[in-house]
Amino acid sequence: MNWLPQVSPLTVVLIPFIGAALIGLAARSWKTQQLISWTTSALFLLAVLGQLGAVLAGETPRQLVWEILPGLPIAFSIEPLGMIFALLASSLWIVATPYAIGYMVNGGYTSLARFFACYAIALGAAAGIAFADNLLTMFIFYEILSVSTYPLVAHTGTAKARQGARTYLGILLLTSICFWLPAMIWTFIATGTLEFAQGGILAGHLGPTQAGLLLLLFMFGTGKAALMPFHRWLPSAMVAPTPVSALLHAVAVVKAGVFVALKLALYVFGLDFLAEIPLTDFVLYVATFTMIAASLIAIHQDNLKARLAYSTVSQLAYIVVGALLATQVAAIGGGMHMVMHGYGKITLFFCAGAIYLASHKTLVSELDGIGRRMPFTMAAFLLGALCVIGIPPMGGLWSKWHLVTGAFEAGHAVVLAAFLLSTLLNIAYLLPPVLRAFLKPLPEGEPATLKEAPLMCVVPLTLTAAGSMVLFFAAGLPHRLMQLVFA
Amino acid sequence: MRENGILRIVARFLIPLIMLFGLYIQFHGEYSPGGGFQAGVVVAAGWILFALIYGLEAALKVIPERVMYVLAAFGVLLYAITGLMGVILGGRYLDFYPLLPGEHAAQQFGIITVEFGVGVTVATVVMLIFTYFARRKSEWEALSEEEPE
Amino acid sequence: MIDIGLLTFMVVIAIAVVRTRDLFAAAMLFAIYSLLSAALFAVLDAGDVALTEAAVGAGISTILILAVLALARRYEHPTGGHNLVALLVVLITGAALIYATLDLPEFGSADNPAQVHVGPYYIEQSYPDMGVPNMVAAVLASYRSIDTMGEAFVIFAAGLAVYALLGVRPRSGRFRRRREPEEEDAS
Amino acid sequence: MTVLGFFNYWVVIILMMIGLYCVIARGNMIKKIIGLNLFQTSVFILFISAGKVVGGSTPILREGVEVYSNPLPHVLILTAIVVGVAITAVGLALAVRIQEAYGTIEDDHLGDDGEDDGPFEEEQRG
Amino acid sequence: MAIVDLMPFSVLAPLIASGVVALLPGRFWPWAITLLAAIVATVIAALTLPAALESTLSYPFGNWPPPIGIEYRVDAANAFVALLVAGMAALSLPWAKVSIDREVPERQGAFYALFLLALAGLLGITLTGDAFNVFVFLEISSLATYALIAHGRDRRALLASFRYLIMGTIGATFLLIGIALLYMMTGTLNMADLAVRLPEVQHTRTVDAALAFIVVGMGLKLAMLPLHLWLPNAYAYAPNFVTIFLAGTATKVALYVMVRFIFTVFGGEYSFTVLPLAIVLMALGVAGMFAGSWVAMFQDHLKRMLAYSSVAQVGYMVLGVSLFSAAGLTAAFLHMFNHALIKVALFMAVGTIMYRIGSIKLQDIRGLGRQMPWTLTAFALAGLSIIGVPTTAGFISKWYLILAAAEAGHWWLVGLIVITSMMAVYYIWRVIEAAWMQERPAGSPAVREAPLALLAPTWLMVALNFYFGIDTRLTVGASTAAAEALLGVGGLMP
């Protein structure tokens, strides 16, 4: 990737915002808006890739934008973990763009300019979170992400959509302002800095008990990581159009949450210090509980998107567990799982959307035999499901492998058992749709018009399905980057 | 009260006396109790007495409302500009020494001028306020006649 | 010593003002109160203040109140409730003031802080400084001239305010409906 | 200080309390304004008594007078009286307008804030 | 001309201009001269601030040396507040033109003259070094303010004005009682001189009571919690421009006077030991924060909502003072400045809505976001600032307040501040949701976007909110200097 120009971190973050502004200005011309969406996502991907070479070489490009108050700068730095998140978001955005265009146009939605502008802002905010050099910068972009996705969730404007969106925003803002913000202030007062540093900044400044409280505040404050009991927003947000659920609630928003959790564990607490905190285990068990409980709920969901949403809740808990096990291997597993689950889950959402677009079916129980009419979609669904479950030859294997090894190393037998149980549950709720679709006959009276969704939708989901398979072979890149975190 | 002949006659003597007294405390303020404010009140009281006896319209013919309003602003401006003269002539604001060559003369000149400003403002503002209060009643009555219930 | 008789009389009048529901009587009693306090000021050597209080309190204020009474009901409605709160506030204020007096310097003593600092300068220097025998006038118009300018502007502001409020001709007819006959409850 | 000295101050304080009570407890707006005047006048007395020197006289320079009372409080109270009458005038003007707008000047009858009685008709000015 | 000779003219310019403006006919010239006077005052205040940061400036009126005469005595604290007051006037006047032409169509000369008097009064209170002069200029500004509020077109404006008049006068009289007691104990009215002479008579019951009366008196003008009753209606029914100006200035100046007396005249050490000021102010501040925010959450009248929010914000400032530390005072001054920026922007946006649709009830602005996008966006952005989102001015002051609370070891305050911020989120969010997420009620007429004359000043204020949220050198620097000037009593000695 060395042939790509390396721009400053701020520029990377600004690209989507500029794109959003241009989309807003081009409100009249739908063609121009499409063009800008494409260009922006492409430029964004290139800009992110341009950073890869330097990061792989062990550098950390930094940029101080402005120091608001002494010790409180807006600053960016591109370190390996953020790079993983940025790569995930940028690569999936460019796939999601055609899907979103195809879906929104064919689904007959209106106010597309607002939709795509907010979409771009959300991606820019995700990049801002990925590249934030300190907690304050991260917090700002975290809130921008929450607020900018509200119009997306409430896009249809119906009472139900508004209600869902209100729950969504309410929980995210409440947790971040009531827990995260005080935790950040506490950190600043205790350490005098908010800057991320390898190995953490808290060690030596706080006692284990205080640090435990701080950990609680931070982890529950990161509402986007959907730890129980603050997971309700995720199913609520499923009222959104599917491209939103796909990109934002499989990638940008939820991954931002777990990314923050990982970042906090690695760069604020530090794994060594984390291991000394007694309350870490408590949070760990909360995450483990979330993992299992969400899976159990998912099994009972007949609505496909709701099932996927609870699956997401469960999978996010994997990553939080990975962060809290406080071993290197588990943390590496957590970082890799961000990518693997991202690709797998976006495929599943794309498929759910494609099914809805083609047949207006939303329930798992309605999917009988649909695989015969929509073979590509359902095949992709299978691959995505396998990736999330962690079965070869899908990328999900590697991340789960590391996570399980980490749990074993840390000696947490309960967590280990939970991983295994959860994998079984994954199979139990992800495979039935596929089995119904392919093995059961199509019910009587289905219109002959039922066929694959438009190409604009099918191609992206095929790509992401393929991507999750490629990741099985190309897992070296995320692994390498995660190792650099500890270099 | 307008019909009361005796009152009118008494007032005819009294009002000039009141005015004279007002002028006395205005310009004799440095030597005896009194000054701009008291003088203004007394002059206004004389005018109000006139208005009570001869009617507001007659009183407003002596000093129209608009004139009062302008004089009120004139009074404060006189004060402020006297103060400003101190700055223009090389001193501080409200510094009277630079106004005239003699020290005592300068101070007395300044004091008399600003007191006069106060007096004018006070007298006119009091008259103005009285005018509005007194006129309100007749305005209400006019309103009732226009639209009987 | 201040004239105790004057003060006692004032207390009686003040209580009467509060108790009466006849606003006309209240205005008249207030005028008397002002005159008495003017007398008190004179006793306290404050000639200028006495003159002013007599002209303002017994004169202008009373005339204005009477002018408004011509427009509104003469009798106050009996008030109900919330006197307890008022009483509490007043008692606390009074207690604080009494507390404050406990350490006040002796009344009228020539070596009070107020008589030995700043004040003597005016007494001794106002004639040499400006040749004005009335020290009050000297302090008012020269030493503390900016205060007096502020005072002039306060009056000016009041004039403008009344002009803005009442220079407009009334339009609403509501006042007519609720003006009950005045002979009721003349207690 | 002698009890007698206290007594004078205390009577003045009682006057203040009566005035303040009249402002707070009375609902009638004219009564409130009268109360305000009572209150302020009593404060003026307190202030003026600060300047009194026993055996002194009015601070106007005369032959044969040695002791003068302090002129400074007098000046301050002159100003304060003017301020007081200005407040009275504005308060009364407001009372007149309230009488026109509401038909009463009993504050108690006017209820509180929140309820909406629609925008007041626009006034004709001039 | 040295800056010290120019300094008093930031008060005198509007004062003198008021006499002129009162005589001007028509609709243009009164406004233009008023704006000119406000700009002059602002420029002079802006020039004064750097000089005052270096050394205390003193301007004796009539060339009589204090304490014989009256002086204007300016250090970092009052130079900062003066710049704030004059600046807010100059910034809000461009907004006023169109709005006042509608709300006060006739006799604008008197209206603008009253405005100038209110402005000059506030500036006079701020700059003066004489305790009684504070009272006089307080009354100038109060009288003018009562009249300005009564200009509101809703009849409740009259009632609000009258109630404010009663409470304001009681407050001013309390101040006067305090000054009288101080004078009886020291024989002087000059604040710096008082500061020198008070230690001799400290810990007398009279001085204690004087402090109490002054704090309560200014608390009334400041709308500190139990004394806030006048504020919501006064803000709600005054003409929009008047609300904007008052929200930006009046309570701040009252707080400044209170702080000046507490720290400079009495000395912070004394004030906080003799009266339980720390605990009382903290309790009232916290109660104000909560009660104000709480009531604001249920208001459907946007101006009342913002007015209650102001009560809450005053609580923040009082809380900062109650911490009795350099950090706390810095936070209080910062919040004075930043809250002025925020509230002026918010009230401008609300006033702009009112200008167009004639109502600011929550149910009447449903769906307005599409028809007046610029106005509502300005409201939303200014709303971010009152919530305290980073990169806005509101964040900076809350951050400092939190640091000050933590420094004093009051951890629980951090939690409370965060909770009240959440309440701010709620009341701002209600508006945003109504404006964008709901449909325009059926049958309501189409609305055009507001005229540029209203939008441009509003957006300027919004931009300033973000500017001062990012570039904090001026605000933090001046606030720190102000706090130091107040705490270091030595700096004020002649």
Nearest CB to D56: which of C7, C45, C165? C45
Asked if the model's pLDDT at residue C28 lies above 90, the reply is yes
Asked if the model's pLDDT at residue C185 lies above 80, the reply is no
C32 interfaces chain D, CB cutoff of 8 Å: no
Q: Taking a contact as any Cβ pair under 8 Å apart, which residues of chain E between 411 and 440 contact chain A?
A: 414-415, 418-419, 421-422, 425, 433, 436-437, 439
Residues of chain E by 3-state class (helix, strand, coil), percent to 5 = 80, 5, 20
Tell me phi and psi for residue A357, to 5 degrees: -65, -40
Tell me phi and psi for residue E73, to 5 degrees: -125, 115
Give the span between the Cα atoms of E85 and E116, in whole angstroms.
12
The owner of tokens 């794109």 is A19
Residue range B57-70: mean pLDDT, rounded: 92
Question: At D112, is the pLDDT very low, low, confident or very high (cuts 50, 70, 90)?
Answer: low
Is C157 within 8 Å of E140 when comparing Cβ atoms? yes
> Min CA distance, B5 vs chain D (Å)?
32
Give the span between the Cα atoms of C115 and E311, in whole angstroms.
43
Is D94 within 8 Å of E170 when comparing Cβ atoms? no
| Least confident stretch, A211-220, C101-110, D26-35 | C101-110
Answer yes or no: are the C-beta atoms of E408 and E319 closer than 8 Å. Answer: no
Question: At D116, is the pLDDT very low, low, confident or very high (cuts 50, 70, 90)?
Answer: very low
> Min CA distance, E352 vs chain B (Å)?
33
Write down the mean pLDDT value for chain B.
86
Strands annotated E in A78-191:
none
> Min CA distance, B106 vs chain C (Å)?
8
Nearest CB to D43: which of E154, E180, E358? E180
Tell me which chain E residues have a C-beta less than 8 angstroms from the C-beta of D50.
180, 183-184
C97 interfaces chain D, CB cutoff of 8 Å: yes
Nearest CB to E107: which of D36, D98, D125? D125
DSSP per residue over C75-119, as a string?
Answer: BPPPP-S-HHHHHHHHHHHHHHHHHHHTTPPPTT-TTSHHHHSSH
Asked if the model's pLDDT at residue C186 lies above 50, the reply is no
Q: What is the pLDDT of residue E202?
A: 81
Q: Which residues of chain A have pLDDT under 70?
A: 1-2, 27, 448
- Its CATH architecture, for the domain D3-57+67-109, is Orthogonal Bundle (1.10)
Cβ burial, residue A3 (10 Å; 0-12/13-18/19+): exposed
Question: At C183, is the pLDDT very low, low, confident or very high (cuts 50, 70, 90)?
Answer: very low
> Min CA distance, B129 vs chain C (Å)?
6
Residue range B133-149: mean pLDDT, rounded: 74
Give the span between the Cα atoms of A345 and E372, in whole angstroms.
40
The owner of tokens 């609902």 is D27
- Nearest CA to C163 out of B55, D78, B73 is that of B73
B93 interfaces chain D, CB cutoff of 8 Å: no
- The size of chain E, in residues, is 494
Mutation target vs B (from E7, E10, E11, E12; most B CBs, 10 A cutoff): E12
| Amino acid at position A336, single letter | M
Tell me which chain A residues have a C-beta less than 8 angstroms from the C-beta of E402.
185
pLDDT in tens, C141-161: 889 999 999 999 999 999 999
Q: What is the pLDDT of residue B16?
A: 87
Tell me which chain B residues have a C-beta less than 8 angstroms from the C-beta of E19.
73-74, 76-77, 80
Mutation target vs B (from C63, C64, C65, C171; most B CBs, 10 A cutoff): C63
Tell me which chain E residues have a C-beta less than 8 angstroms from the C-beta of D43.
173, 176-177, 180
Nearest CB to B129: which of D60, D78, D89? D89
A17 interfaces chain E, CB cutoff of 8 Å: no
Nearest CB to B33: which of C51, C162, C173? C51
Give the span between the Cα atoms of E311 and E250, in whole angstroms.
12
Tell me which chain B residues have a C-beta less than 8 angstroms from the C-beta of C171.
143
Taking CB atoms and an 8 Å cut-off, how many pairs form between chains B and D?
Answer: 15
Q: Does E433 or E423 have the greater pLDDT score?
A: E423
Is C142 within 8 Å of B110 when comparing Cβ atoms? yes
Asked if the model's pLDDT at residue C118 lies above 70, the reply is yes
Tell me phi and psi for residue A75, to 5 degrees: -145, 150
- Nearest CA to E182 out of A232, C118, A416, A428 is that of C118
Question: At E194, is the pLDDT very low, low, confident or very high (cuts 50, 70, 90)?
Answer: very high
Is E16 within 8 Å of B92 when comparing Cβ atoms? no
B13 interfaces chain D, CB cutoff of 8 Å: no
Chains touching chain D, criterion 3+ CB pairs below 8 Å: B, C, E
Tell me which chain D residues have a C-beta less than 8 angstroms from the C-beta of C66.
none
Q: Give the torsion through C-alpha atoms of C72, C77, C83, C87, to 10 deg.
A: 50
Nearest CB to D78: which of B31, B37, B129? B37
Contacts (Cβ under 8 Å, ≥6 apart) of B134: B51, B56, C67
Give the span between the Cα atoms of E329 and E347, in whole angstroms.
26
Contacts (Cβ under 8 Å, ≥6 apart) of C19: none
In terms of average pLDDT, the best of A48-57, C163-172, E124-133 is E124-133
Taking CB atoms and an 8 Å cut-off, how many pairs form between chains B and C?
Answer: 154
Asked if the model's pLDDT at residue D120 lies above 80, the reply is no
Is C45 within 8 Å of D16 when comparing Cβ atoms? no
Q: What is the pLDDT of residue B146?
A: 64
Tell me which chain E residues have a C-beta less than 8 angstroms from the C-beta of C114.
183-184, 186-187
C-alpha Rg value of chain A to the nearest Å: 21
Q: What is the pLDDT of residue E16?
A: 94
Question: At C79, is the pLDDT very low, low, confident or very high (cuts 50, 70, 90)?
Answer: low
Nearest CB to E470: which of A68, A139, A162? A68
Nearest CB to E162: which of D72, D91, D113? D91
E68 interfaces chain A, CB cutoff of 8 Å: no
Q: What is the pLDDT of residue D114?
A: 44
* Residue E59: its H or E element: strand E57-60
| Chains A and B make contact, 3+ CB pairs within 8 Å | no
E370 interfaces chain A, CB cutoff of 8 Å: no
Contacts (Cβ under 8 Å, ≥6 apart) of A88: A251, A255, A338, A339, A342, A343
pLDDT in tens, E333-382: 999 999 999 999 999 999 999 998 888 898 888 888 878 888 999 999 99
Contacts (Cβ under 8 Å, ≥6 apart) of C11: D11, D14, D15, D18
Q: Taking a contact as any Cβ pair under 8 Å apart, which residues of chain B between 104 and 123 contact chain C?
A: 104-105, 107-108, 110-111, 114-115, 117-118, 121-122
- Nearest CA to C150 out of E123, B85, E68 is that of E123
Sequence ranges of the domains in chain B = 5-146
DSSP three-state, residue A390:
coil
Write down the mean pLDDT value for chain E.
91
> Min CA distance, B5 vs chain C (Å)?
23
According to DSSP, the β-strands at A62-69 and A72-77 are antiparallel
Q: What is the pLDDT of residue D117?
A: 45
- Nearest CA to C156 out of E120, B5, A80, A366 is that of E120
Is D82 within 8 Å of B122 when comparing Cβ atoms? yes
Nearest CB to C119: which of E18, E114, E187? E187
Question: Helices E205-222 and E156-186: crossing angle, nearest 10°?
Answer: 160
Q: What is the pLDDT of residue E393?
A: 93
Q: What is the pLDDT of residue E301?
A: 92
Q: Which two tokens stand for residue E194?
A: 């008082």
DSSP three-state, residue A333:
helix
Give the span between the Cα atoms of E494 and E490, in whole angstroms.
9
pLDDT in tens, B70-126: 999 999 999 999 999 999 998 899 989 998 888 889 998 999 999 999 999 999 999
Is C161 within 8 Å of E68 when comparing Cβ atoms? no
Whole-Å CA distances, A55 to A41, A59, A182, A487:
21, 5, 32, 12
Is B31 within 8 Å of D60 when comparing Cβ atoms? yes
B61 interfaces chain D, CB cutoff of 8 Å: no
Q: Which DSSP symbol is given to A205?
A: T
Residue range D94-121: mean pLDDT, rounded: 69
In terms of average pLDDT, the best of B138-142, C131-135, E394-398 is E394-398
Question: At E19, is the pLDDT very low, low, confident or very high (cuts 50, 70, 90)?
Answer: very high
Instruction: Count CB atoms within 10 A of the CB of residue C8.
Output: 11
Q: Taking a contact as any Cβ pair under 8 Å apart, which residues of chain B between 76 and 95 contact chain E?
A: 76-77, 80-81, 83-84, 86-87, 91-95
B141 interfaces chain C, CB cutoff of 8 Å: no
Q: What is the pLDDT of residue A477?
A: 84
Each as own residue / partner, the long-range contacts of residues A231-236 (CB below 8 Å, 24 or more positions apart, any chain) are A231/A290, A231/A294, A231/A313, A232/A167, A232/A171, A233/A167, A233/A168, A233/A169, A233/A170, A233/A171, A233/A172, A234/A309, A234/A310, A234/A312, A234/A313, A235/A306, A235/A309, A235/A310, A235/A313, A236/A163, A236/A164, A236/A165, A236/A167, A236/A168
Q: Which DSSP symbol is given to A224?
A: G
Mutation target vs D (from B30, B37, B115, B122; most D CBs, 10 A cutoff): B37
Taking CB atoms and an 8 Å cut-off, how many pairs form between chains A and E?
Answer: 54
Residues of chain A by 3-state class (helix, strand, coil), percent to 5 = 75, 5, 20
Strands annotated E in A281-369:
none
Give the span between the Cα atoms of A156 and A241, in whole angstroms.
8
Q: What is the rounded end-to-end Cα distance, in angstroms, of chain E?
A: 22
Residue range E51-69: mean pLDDT, rounded: 91
The owner of tokens 């090894």 is A405
State the ipTM, two decimals.
Answer: 0.86
Is A178 within 8 Å of E469 when comparing Cβ atoms? no
